Amino acid sequence: MLKRTPISFLVLAAAATLGACRGADTESPPDAAEATEATALAIVGATVVDGSGAEPVPDATVVVRDGRIESVGPSAEVEVPADAEILDATGKHLVPGLINAHGHVGSTLGLEGGHYSRENVLRDLRLYASYGVTTVVSLGGDEPAGVDVREEQDVPSLDRARLYVAGAVVAGITPGAALEMVSGNAAMGVDFIKIRVDDNLGSTYKMTPDVYGAVIEGAHELGLPVAAHLFYLEDAHGLLDAGVDFIVHSVRDRDVDDALATRLVEAGVCYSPTLTREVSTFVYENEPEFFSDPFFLASAEPAVLEALRASESMARYRESESAQRYKAALAQAQENLGALSDAGVTIAMGTDTGPPARFQGYFEHMELALMAESGMSPLEILVASTGDAARCAGLDGVGTIEAGKWADLILLDADPLEGVENLRAIESVWIAGNEVPSVSG
> Could you tell me the residue ranges of all domains in the chain?
97-399
195 phi/psi in degrees, rounded to 5 = -120, 160
Lowest mean pLDDT across 21-30, 150-159, 221-230: 21-30
CA–CA distance, 95 with 114 (Å, rounded to integer) = 35
Listed residue (342, 350, 340) closest to 255, CA to CA: 340
Strand order of the β-sheet with 226-230 is 193-197, 226-230, 246-247, 270-271
DSSP codes, 223-237: T--EEEEE--HHHHH
Ramachandran category for residue 138: left, alpha or beta (phi over 0 → left; psi -120 to 50 → alpha): beta
Given this model, what pLDDT does residue 2 score? Answer: 62
131: closest CA among 422, 423, 398, 432?
Answer: 423
pLDDT tens readout for residues 370-396:
999 999 999 999 999 999 999 999 999
Quick check: 28 pLDDT over 50? no
Class of domain 97-399: alpha beta
Q: pTM for this one?
A: 0.92
Q: Is 248 helix (H, G, I), strand (E, B) or coil?
A: coil
Q: What residue type is assigned to position 182 of the chain?
A: V
Give the pLDDT band (50/70/90) at residue 13.
Answer: very low
Confidence bin at 441 (pLDDT 50/70/90) = confident
Phi, psi of 411 (to 5 degrees): -100, 125
Q: What is the pLDDT of residue 15?
A: 39
Confidence of residue 17 (pLDDT cuts 50, 70, 90): very low
What's the mean pLDDT in 168-174?
A: 95
Instruction: Give pLDDT, residue 20.
Output: 39
Q: What is the DSSP string of 283-350?
A: GGGS--GGGG-HHHHTT--HHHHHHHHSHHHHHHHHH-HHHHHHHHHHHHHHHHHHHHHHTTPPB---
Kindly give, in sequence order, each residue whose CB lies less than 8 Å from that of residue 374, ignoring residues fewer than 6 positions away.
Answer: 273, 275, 334, 335, 337, 338, 341
Residue 202 DSSP code: T
Mean pLDDT score, 404-416? 99
Average pLDDT, the chain: 93
* CB 135, CB 100: distance < 8 Å: yes
Q: Which pLDDT score is estimated for 33?
A: 36
Q: Give me the pLDDT at residue 19, please.
A: 42
- DSSP code for 355: S
Q: Which residues on neighbouring strands pair with residue 406, listed in sequence order? A: 68
How many whole angstroms separate alpha carbon 282 and alpha carbon 291? 15
Residue 10 reports pLDDT greater than 70: no
Q: What is the pLDDT of residues 252-307, one digit of tens each?
A: 999 999 999 999 999 999 999 999 999 999 999 999 999 999 999 999 999 999 99
Report how far residue 256's alpha carbon sits from residue 410's, in angstroms, rounded to the nearest whole number. 35
Q: How confident is the model at residue 121 (pLDDT cuts 50, 70, 90)?
A: very high
Residue 420 has pLDDT above 80, yes or no: yes
Residue from 354, 365, 363, 384 nearest 103 by CA: 354
Q: What is the pLDDT of residue 32?
A: 36
Distance of CA 18 to the CA centre of its chain: 49
- Mean pLDDT, to the nearest integer, of 56-73? 99
Phi, psi of 238 (to 5 degrees): -65, -40
Give the closest residue to 423 by CA, choosing from 388, 386, 389, 387.
386
Percent of the chain topping pLDDT 70: 91
